[in-house]
Chains A and B, each alone.
Chain A
């Protein structure tokens, strides 16, 4: 059976990890590659690097992170954040990343999804959807620009659209749940998972090990992404996976 995936996410700014420097056993706790190696040993199934570098000129630093990671860590990893052109996708994949994730640029120019999938294959193209419940329209709304800008687009409709454009996977973040550590957004995740037939990674809200179990069963997600709970050592990836196995969820251990 296909295992459910547990994916730690690293925020990287100008080539350095910015959150969760709690790793006393790392030589350089700000080095994304050291983090990647650590999480790999702990049993991470994949890694996501989110580039939050503000200036365009510094973006090359992420290519270098991808290049170094690919030389030392032999599990799949995704690079996201600020990607808006085919040439950027090419450079990141060529550096050794397995997938890239598109967010704002995909909303502004959906053809980028189609073009990326055509050139590099659907399995490389992840679309990240940041969604928040909108009481007025009684639907989840897609946000862009790091969650700052509402688009009026229904998250469910957008999920279906990105699938038809050739996205190979959806990275779904609930802005309502994100940062609260009160559990993943089960209704949103489940609604998107039932809407599309490509894999969905749930993100936002992980606090307890039970949260992972819920989103992977009730929420029907194929993978669960988390950052703080791993960075701040609330529990390890291995502990989550052992817990999941006890709960009857198929995981790679």
Chain B
């Protein structure tokens, strides 16, 4: 079971639909006991950094996510979910995120259309998450803030929109995606299928 974290931020219908289409069961919940029974967690999110941080804290999810990371659980952050993995964001400078990454989320510089909305090419390094997905495949983005490039080890994929930015970050079994795989057609479905299979095979090793 894949647990979709319910913290009131944005639309999760499509993420659940995509997993269901691929044959993976999901549950939408904010109950820690229910999340405990899930082999992987998805942190979706659309909206502002600061209010997302507040909601996660209010629901006791900050410490909970850290605990699951330490146990090696698979965690997938999507869009704002990725941004919450960082320490700070220019969107709400007073809020402190989950801080798995030390960089600060930045707003796209002026001179280009913001939001960065539409399909852009993603160049990924070797990782099971990108198995079967061609180099430079297009994914769907809709965001005004971006994660700067991190160190080579944690940066799995990059994209360019005036500036180079991190399209996918990775730390252990925690993955953050700036694009929306659930809206990225075939490439996005393949990526979610890869994620689901990684989770399943880890389960089989464990039991």
Contacts and interface: CB of A to CB of B under 8 A. Distances in A.
A103 to B, nearest CB: 19
B117 interface: yes
Nearest to A98: B183
Contacts of B13: 70, 94-96
Interface in A70-113: 70-72, 74-76, 93-96, 98
Contacts of A199: 113, 115, 117-118
Number of chain B interface residues as a range:
35 or more
B10 A121 contact: yes
A56 B115 CA distance: 33
A53 interface: no
B194 to A, nearest CB: 15
B113 A198 contact: yes
Contacts of B188: 74
Interface in B30-56: 46-48
B11 interface: yes
B21 to A, nearest CB: 7
Contacts of B144: 122-123
A223 interface: yes
A120 interface: yes
B117 A169 contact: yes
A204 interface: no
A59 interface: no
B14 A96 contact: yes
A71 B183 CA distance: 11
A168 B140 CA distance: 15
Contacts of B6: none
A219 B95 CA distance: 41
B150 to A, nearest CB: 22
Nearest to A253: B138
A123 B185 contact: no
Contact of B119 (A45, A72, A93, A168): A45
Contacts of A4: 118
Nearest to B186: A74
Nearest to A73: B185
A75 B119 CA distance: 10
Contacts of B47: 120-121
Interface string B178-195: 001011110011000000
A124 B10 CA distance: 10
Interface residues of A, number: 31
A3 interface: yes
A247 interface: no
Interface in A192-217: 197-199
A152 B114 CA distance: 29
Nearest to B20: A71
A5 B117 CA distance: 10
B161 interface: yes
Interface in B50-95: none
Contacts of A95: 13
Interface in A38-76: 40, 45, 70-72, 74-76
B140 A197 contact: no
Given A74-B189, A122-B144, A2 B184 contact: no
Contact of B118 (A71, A96, A197, A223): A223
Chain A CB within 10 Å, residue with most, of B13, B47, B48, B180: B13
B156 to A, nearest CB: 20
B106 interface: no
A1 interface: yes
A132 B101 CA distance: 50
27 contacts: A1-B120, A1-B121, A2-B119, A2-B161, A3-B138, A4-B118, A5-B118, A70-B14, A70-B17, A74-B17, A74-B18, A75-B183, A76-B142, A76-B183, A94-B11, A98-B183, A121-B10, A122-B115, A123-B46, A123-B143, A124-B11, A124-B46, A168-B117, A197-B110, A197-B113, A197-B114, A199-B118
10 interchain residue pairs of minimum CB distance: A123-B142, A252-B138, A96-B13, A252-B119, A3-B119, A76-B183, A2-B120, A199-B113, A121-B46, A71-B17
